[in-house]
Amino acid sequence: NAGVTQTPKFQVLKTGQSMTLQCAQDMNHEYMSWYRQDPGMGLRLIHYSVGAGITDQGEVPNGYNVSRSTTEDFPLRLLSAAPSQTSVYFCASTDRDREDGYTFGSGTRLTVV
């Protein structure tokens, strides 16, 4: 089924470790973005991309890096994990006309100990 695929679904990291959260979409969407969701809160934008080779910062970008080498993939890198980065991470994509909103992946639940 077409959609947004996120891997892994769960991850536990030690403080200081690095890792990459993967996001892939097969809908040929130009726009992709990463959000984090903390308990009892809405989603907050980390980084977004309006096309291959173009990325920009969102509301909470510190501690995260992104790149967009292809239309399909938009990985999120944690450079040196901190307990404050414990959260659920969602990737989303949409087309140029934002038809039917943004499609979200099922999320990656990250715990940093």
Partner 1 sequence: GESVGLHLPTLSVQEGDNSIINCAYSNSASDYFIWYKQESGKGPQFIIDIRSNMDKRQGQRVTVLLNKTVKHLSLQIAATQPGDSAVYFCAENSQGYKLSFGAGTTVTVRA
Contact 86, 99 (CB under 8 A): no
Kindly write out the interface string for residues 72-111 of this chain, putting x where it contacts partner 1 by CB under 8 A and - elsewhere: ------------------x-x-x---x-xxxxxxxx----
Q: Which of residues 40-79 bind partner 1 (CB under 8 A)?
A: 40-45, 48, 50, 58-59
Among 13, 21, 23, 31, binds partner 1 (CB under 8 A): 31
User: Order of strands, edge to edge, in the sheet holding 19-25?
Assistant: 4-7, 19-25, 76-78, 64-66
Q: Which of 76, 83, 80 is nearest to 35 (CA)?
A: 76
Residue 39 as a binder of partner 1 (CB under 8 A): the answer is: no
Looking at the chain, which runs of residues are DSSP E strands?
4-7, 10-13, 19-25, 31-37, 43-51, 54-57, 64-66, 76-78, 87-94, 103-104, 108-112
State in angstroms the smallest separation of the CB of 2 from partner 1: 14
State in angstroms the smallest separation of the CB of 33 from partner 1: 7
Q: Which residues bind partner 1 (CB under 8 A)?
A: 4, 31, 33, 35, 40-45, 48, 50, 58-59, 90, 92, 94, 98, 100-107
